[in-house]
Structure 1
Amino acid sequence: MLYSLENDKLCVQVRSYGAELRSIKERADETEYLWDGNPQWWKYSSPVLFPIVGKLQDGKYRVNGTEYELPGHGFGRISEYQLVERRQDYIEFALKWSEDTLASYPWKFQLNVAYALKDNTVEVIWKVQNLDDREMVYSIGAHTAFRCPLVQGEEFSDCYLTFNQQEDNVNMPLNSKGQFLKEQGEARLQGEQLALNYGMFAGDALAYKGLKSDVVTICSHKSDKKVSMEAKDFPFWGFWTPAQGGAPFLCLEPWQGHADYEGYNGEFADREGSLKLEPGKTQSFHYTIRIG
């Protein structure tokens, strides 16, 4: 089901399937900031990545020696969530473990996903609860696709990213199957800006570990429209648009965790970026989308 939220600045739509943002419109001039999920390019707009981020080696992982399988980015983005609370400017959904989820992810859990409108921002809140009697292991991340360019008539190459800190970082390169290589990439991020072109995504997403910045903004050289994502304490960031080029969107992706390294066959708990949660405990994360 599709739900609408609004305040005096924004109109937002969220669907219960995947607890996914589907639209962010500025009330003043009806500018749409979020990609609409047209399957010609990519059928999602802002999937929640849970309980893994990225792709596992051969789609499999091990827990205490037992092998399980999960699709890329997990099942959170392809599950129906239950509505927990709804107000004019706030909505919250929950996804709870089931016998089906236990077959691919052997922990009892609950994931709450909430959206709160505040002035010209959308705050996204995740709460992960361990309902099991043993330590739970998971990853979680965002994959939010913003229209790029935001203004009709502009080109993708008219746009650029800005960072709120001076960066000097090389990317984590991916192989053709979506696993990271244990070597430095060639897409060095230097300074506070990154010019955009489709060619830079020929090798899939640009992923970085340990960026200093916690605010990334899509800007244009030809207009003053912009959209920012503020995500504090996320150790990994990804930036992505389809490799073939031409898609009118760019994903900003703060992650808690990432895809397997090439050839990894160790325990799920030992992967870089795997989070651990004690029985009965809750872990919360949030990021903020700012319009204009």
Structure 2
Amino acid sequence: MENQWLKVSTKAEGAELTSILLKKDNTEYLWQGDPKIWGRHAPILFPIVGRLKENRCTIDGKEYHMTQHGFARDMTFDILEESEEHILYQLTSNEDTLKHYPYRFQLRVEYILKEKSIIIKYSVKNIDDQKIYFSIGAHPGFNCPLLEGESMEDYVLEFEKEEVLDKMCLDNGLILEEKQPFLNHEKTISLTKDLFINDALIVENTASKSITLKSTKSNKSVCVTFDEFRYLGIWSKPEGAPFVCIEPWLGIADYKDKTVDFKDKAGILSLDPEEESQCSYIISIE
């Protein structure tokens, strides 16, 4: 997709966003998926967000296995529509998905280019004859730093509003019951490698509807608007890596010390037969 400001690329594998290039100065904003560090760009998380305990869950008394963040990111989507500033992908349940997840669904992912923004829309439709349960989330990684001569420590994450937030803590990808204080009437998070030493930062029900990754040395920034999402994850490699992921989620990983049926997972969504759920977020180059 392309307009006078941006050139944006996606691929059918995982319906994944793969490039956000600012044409004015040729700056690439999206992480380019170096497999030696992290081989993805902006995977779609479906039908789970995060990790299941022992990579398995129980649905209607039967055990199913799914790896972290679900299978959609590793499947090839069909292209339903395509134009200069728009593309629509679709993934439909099949024999392979039913082995891991016993529900019939239709997942659509749509990218719309509008000035210096990309609108990303998710749609999940229940095409089963029973209620289905799912989570969905985004995982875009942004280059940090964006310019040569800068480092991650030259960047901050800035919420739209001052926040009073606790963060969820992870142990081997599973959520611990006890939360830790994180922000106290603050809106800015300074970026350091140590910030991610214990995995992703996860917060819930923020007052802000957007967060901006911005350089303190240049005018470079990228904003993610996530007003339809309950949870927000922020992640980079704990050993340090030149990217930061800003992740709007509807759903979270399993709790380490709780074992519940899939239908009772924290943040789980449900749809009746023929019902459809939609959500969207926006990436804006500022």
Pairwise same-fold verdict (TM > 0.5): yes
- For the 8 Å contact 2:252–2:266, the answer to whether it is kept is yes
Are 2:251 and 1:257 equivalent residues in the alignment? Answer: yes
* Alpha carbons 1:18, 1:76 under 8 Å: kept: yes
Aligned position for 1:227: 222
Deviations 1:255-290 (A, max 9, x none): 000000013321111111100011001110100000
**Could you tell me how far 1:193 is from its partner in structure 2?**
0.8
> What does 1:35-50 correspond to in 2, within 5 Å?
35-50=31-46
SS at match of 2:40: coil
**Matched residue count:** 286
Shift of 1:190: 4.2
For residues 66 and 264 of structure 1, what CA distance do their matches in structure 2 show?
Answer: 18
Counterpart check, 1:129 vs 2:125: yes
Tell me, in whole angstroms, the C-alpha distance in 1 between the residues paired with 2:42 and 2:282.
Answer: 13
Kindly provide the amino acid, as one letter, of the partner of residue 64 in structure 2. Y
Distance in 2 (CA, whole Å) between partners of 1:43 and 1:224 is: 28
Report the alpha carbon displacement of residue 227 of structure 1 after superposing the two structures with TM.
0.2
Q: Give me the whole-angstrom Cα distance separating, in 2, the residues matched to 1:251 and 1:133.
A: 36
Letter in 1 for 2:274: G
The residue identity in structure 1 corresponding to 2:282 is T
Distance, in Å, in 2 between the alignment partners of 1:82 and 1:39 is: 25
- Spell out structure 1 runs of 4+ moving beyond 3 A: 186-190
Are the equivalent residues in 1 in contact too, given 2:165–2:181 (CA < 8 A)?
Answer: no
Instruction: Give the 3-state SS of the residue equivalent to 2:27 in structure 1.
Output: coil
Deviation at 1:180, TM superposition (A): 0.3
Q: Scaled by the length of structure 2, what TM-score is found?
A: 0.98
Q: Give the Å deviation of 1:65.
A: 1.6
1:128-176 per-position Cα deviation (integer Å, ceiling 9, x unaligned):
010000100000001100001111110100000111111011110000x
CA distance in 2, matches of 1:9, 1:232: 25
For residue 108 of structure 2, the aligned residue among 95, 105, 112 is 112
CA RMSD of aligned residues (A): 0.9
Amino acid in structure 2 at the alignment position of 1:36: Q
Match of 2:51 in 1: 55
Q: Find out whether 1:196 has 2:191 as its counterpart.
A: yes
1:13 deviates by: 0.6
List alignment gaps of at least 5 residues for structure 2: none
Other-structure match for 2:149:
153
1:236 counterpart = 2:240 = no
Q: Tell me, what secondary structure is at the counterpart of 2:175?
A: coil
Q: Please say if 1:208 is aligned against 2:208.
A: no
Structure 2 CA distance for partners of 1:65 and 1:184, relative to 1, 3 Å? same
How high is the TM-score relative to the length of structure 1?
Answer: 0.96
Q: Which amino acid aligns with 2:278?
A: S
| Equivalent position to 2:266, from 259, 263, 272 | 272
Give yes or no for contact 1:187–1:206 (8 Å, CA) kept in 2. no
> Cα deviation per residue 1:49-88 (whole Å; 9 max; x = unaligned)?
0000000011011112211110100001000101110000
- Give the counterpart of 1:78 among 56, 74, 77: 74
| Structure 1 unaligned regions, length at least 5 | none
| 2:97 is the counterpart of 1:101 | yes
